[in-house]
Amino acid sequence: MIPMPERVYLDHSATTPVARPVLDAMMPYFDARFGNASSLHEFGREARRAVDESRQSLASALGASPDEVVFTSGATEADNLAILGTALRRTQGGHLITSQIEHDAVLRSMEALRPMGFEVTIVGVDEFGRVNPEEVRAALRPDTFLVSIMAGNNEVGTLEPIGEIGRLCRERGVLFHTDAVQALGKVDLPMDSVDLLSASAHKMHGPKGVGLLYVRRGIRLAPLAHGGGHERGVRSGTENVSGIVGFAAALDLALRERAEVTSRMRRLRDRLIREVLKIPATRLNGHQVDSLPHVTNFSFAGIEGESLVMKLDEQGIATSTGSACSSPNLEPSHVLVALCVPLSMAHGSLRVSTGRGTSDAEIDRLLEALPRAVAELREMSPFKVGE
């Protein structure tokens, strides 16, 4: 039997493996320290201490106070809580602003508000996927109460000018939310300009099913989950103690390793871009420099991204066409459409995203398999690709 080469995972924007130190920190909270953090006895107090210490650690990593952190089931819930939670406290409708390249958790939360009488402006982006702060300024209205612009895009990696946008919102007394799922732990975040921030543990080598919303002190949110009044009444539900401990351990690890890991990621990304663009009729989507270190997105003319992902998967290499949530959907990505990537190119997209353990050897494997896979698919394609 021919031995299968080791599988290569290059889809860290979708999710990441839990890092060993994170798993070690979590393990006791599944059995020996299994208590409910609301119980009065020592089992409960032990769990409460773990939640409190983790909250303290995550808050200080964010430059925030512990009372500004609300734990959630992930970033989808954090985005919903930021948007619906601010809107539903209002006595009459109002206006919100977001961008075309946001995650569906933001776009659909905003859409859900329209039938309730709220109005939403969705600003566009330039060819690199950047929001222009002046466009946000021009869209502000007297009844605008929330602007939500992500820190770094999950499909193409482009970094957004959130410091500038946050400052102009502050000047106008408008709340500013950012989805920092892909950026936290990898790039500096201008926390001074941010009022609400969403994050998720499983994108940084932590566990799935736990996230947080940073809520600047003084901001009141309407709860979406009613119950026992956990998380200062904003988000009821028994705390995911092991998950919260894992989240704190994951962010701590990410920050301790950040310089080393992100410089390796940047080097791998630069190499990937240099080599992949040698394939004819190929383009880089997103910004070459103002980008998250771990996300790179290409388009190949004349082929379907899904077929390319499957072909690479046959070689044991895991990549994606874009956002994991929209992968089964054969519509071109809303992000690539917003960047005005020509439709023929938007269908042939490939996202490569690295993690803390990604090596040169793994990128070598991709660089060996990719030109062949593209050539084979083009061979079968009814469209002639100009060399």
Ligand X SMILES: Cc1ncc(COP(=O)(O)O)c(C=O)c1O
Contacts of 104 (CB under 8 A, 6+ apart): 323, 325, 326
Candidates 88, 139, 324, 369; binder of ligand X (CB under 6 A) is: 324
Count CA atoms closer than 13 A to 97's CA, side-chain side.
26
When the beta carbons of 243 and 302 are compared against ligand X, the nearer one is: 243
Three-class secondary structure of residue 147 per DSSP = strand
In this structure, are residues 191 and 64 in contact, taking their beta carbons and an 8 Å threshold? yes
Pick the binder of ligand X from 18, 19, 47, 75 (CB under 6 A). 75
Task: Please give the biggest Cα pair distance in the chain.
Answer: 72
Q: Residues 97, 139: contact at Cβ < 8 Å?
A: yes
CB under 6 A: which stretch of 42-50, 160-168, 174-182, 184-192 binds ligand X?
174-182
For β-strands 282-285 and 295-300, DSSP reports them as: antiparallel
Contact flag: residue 224 with ligand X (CB under 6 A): no
- Using rule CB under 6 A, residue 162 touches ligand X: no
Under the binding rule (CB under 6 A), the answer on residue 207 touching ligand X is no
Q: Are strands 118-123 and 94-99 parallel, antiparallel or unpaired?
A: parallel
Binding characters for ligand X, 236-265, by CB under 6 A (x = yes): ------------------------------
H or E, element range at 256: helix 241-276
- For the chain, the distance separating the N- and C-terminal CA atoms, rounded to the nearest angstrom, is 39
Could you say whether residue 84 binds ligand X (CB under 6 A)?
no
Stretch touching ligand X by CB under 6 A, among 115-123, 179-187, 262-270, 292-300: 179-187
Q: Choose the binding region for ligand X from 70-78, 89-97, 271-279, 346-354 (rule: CB under 6 A).
A: 70-78
Binder among 74, 133, 243, 322 for ligand X (CB under 6 A): 74
Does position 103 bind ligand X by CB under 6 A? yes
Q: By CB under 6 A, which span of 178-186, 224-232, 249-257, 283-291 interacts with ligand X?
A: 178-186
Candidate list 182, 321, 354, 358; residue touching ligand X; CB under 6 A: 182
Q: Which residues pair with 144 in a beta bridge?
A: 95
DSSP string, 354-372: --TT--HHHHHHHHHHHHH
Q: Closest residue to ligand X, Cβ-based?
A: 74
Does residue 305 belong to the site contacting ligand X (CB under 6 A)? no
Least distance CB 268 / ligand X (angstroms): 20
Cα–Cα distance between 343 and 337 in angstroms, integer? 7
Determine whether 340 is an active site residue: no
Of the pair 12, 264, the CB lying nearest ligand X is at: 12
Give the binding-site size for ligand X (rule: CB under 6 A). Answer: 15
Q: How many residues does this entry show for the chain?
A: 387
Positions 7 through 66 that interact with ligand X (CB under 6 A): none
DSSP letter string over 61-116? HHT--GGGEEEESSHHHHHHHHHHHHHTT-SS-EEEEEETTS-HHHHHHHHHHGGG
- Site residues (CB under 6 A) for ligand X, limited to 133-152: 150
Work out which of 54, 154, 285, 358 binds ligand X, going by CB under 6 A: 154
Sign of CA dihedral 43, 72, 190, 357: positive
159: which DSSP letter? B
Catalytic residue among 277, 310, 325, 343: 325
Residue 211 engages ligand X in binding (rule: CB under 6 A): yes
Q: Please report, as ranges, the residues that interact with ligand X according to CB under 6 A.
A: 74-76, 79, 103, 105, 150, 154, 179, 181-182, 200, 211, 324-325
Q: Which residues are catalytic?
A: 325
